[in-house]
Amino acid sequence: MHTNNGQLYALSYRLRSARNKKRSQKKDVEKRLIQLHKQEVKLWTDRRKLPWVLLAEPYQKGWKRFFVLREDVKRTNNAGFYESLLEKINTIQYSKDKGFKVKKRRMRKRVYEVKKQSLREFYEWEWNSPRLQLTENEKAFFCRQETLCSKGKYTCVKYVYAEPWRFVLQIRPHMITHMKMIDEDLEREVQQLKNYVERNYLRHKIIKMTKGRKQNQRKYYNIKMNYQDQFKNKPLYSVLDECSREKNTINNQT
């Protein structure tokens, strides 16, 4: 009699409840979504690693505009310094027409204006980053500017080049000389996986499983930058020098 009760207890213990079954089904679906995401990332990586192929006949695709040194600056002794600096702050724009004009609306009329193009500007977090490629001599040619961003909600600090007159814009044809290699089998797998995800409406679930709430935090990224530590990525001796300098100024004022 005792053995029968033990067997019945063991059988009842092995039975799974409806809640446990539902939880296991949900876990299986989540694992499947993560596998799909990993497979998709792998296919994208393989497609990105494909080499570039040289075209037999290059063709023109619009125009490109970039900065070059002025002729009088090229003849100076510091031409090499400004050329190396230009390589780090140069910007390139592409356009279908040679005029680089954009359509805008003014007084209920559509007018065409030339696109504005300026040299590269550095935000405060870029300026203080150790990955910045500018040297100390090159940093001396930049000035600090504060502007209101996002409709005046917060202050944005930028470092702008102080002598833009040394460079002029130049327009050249944008020639296509290389093309990315295309793998038909890889493209077929990418398209099949994409169709499966979109047909079953799984994109939102995959993003939620892999990235979570980080997607919603992107719009607050610029606002949080204002509250970063100003002594971050600075050596200890520079922090102590700043503290002593501020202490001396306070004592002089008092």
pLDDT in tens, the chain (254 residues): 455 565 555 555 567 888 888 888 888 988 999 999 999 999 999 999 999 999 999 999 999 999 999 999 999 999 999 999 999 999 999 999 898 988 888 777 888 888 899 999 999 889 988 889 999 999 999 999 988 877 767 788 899 999 999 999 999 999 999 999 999 999 999 999 999 999 999 988 888 888 775 544 444 444 344 445 566 667 777 778 877 887 777 777 66
SS3 59: strand
Q: Using an 8 Å Cβ cutoff, are 174 and 63 in contact?
A: yes
Instruction: Tell me how far apart the alpha carbons of residues 168 and 203 are, in angstroms, rounded to a whole number.
Output: 46
Per-residue pLDDT at 224: 43
And the tokens for 188? Answer: 């077929």
pLDDT of residue 234: 74
Single out the residue of 12, 30, 13 nearest to residue 22, CA to CA.
Answer: 30
> If we measure between CA atoms, which residue out of 137, 105, 110, 134 comes closest to residue 122?
134
Q: What's the residue count for the chain?
A: 254
Kindly list the distances between the CA atom of residue 67 and the CA atoms of 36, 75, 118, 133, in Å, as whole numbers in the listed order.
45, 17, 9, 19
Q: Provide the pLDDT for residue 15.
A: 77
Q: Which neighbouring-strand residues pair with 63?
A: 95, 173
Pairing of strands 154-161, 142-149: antiparallel
Centre a 10 Å sphere on the Cβ of residue 213 and count the other Cβ atoms it contains. Answer: 7
Please report the pLDDT score of residue 225 as a whole number. 42
- Distance between CA 40 and CA 209 in Å, rounded? 14
Contact 103/110 with Cβ under 8 angstroms?
Answer: yes
Under 8 Å between Cβ of 161 and 88: no
Tens digits of per-residue pLDDT, 183-217? Answer: 999 999 999 999 999 999 998 888 888 877 554 44
DSSP 8-state code for residue 155: E
Handedness of CA 34, 38, 40, 44 (dihedral sign): positive
Please tell me whether residue 176 adopts helix, strand or coil conformation.
strand
Q: Distance between CA 148 and CA 242 in Å, rounded?
A: 27
Amino acid occupying residue 240:
L
**Domains of the chain: which residue ranges?**
18-50+182-213
The pLDDT assigned to 86 comes to 94
Q: Which residue's structure tokens are 């405060």?
A: 124
Q: Which residue has the tokens 């400004």?
A: 82
pLDDT at site 196: 93
Q: Which residues, including other chains, have CB under 8 Å from residue 50's CB and lie 6 or more apart?
A: 180, 181, 182, 183, 186
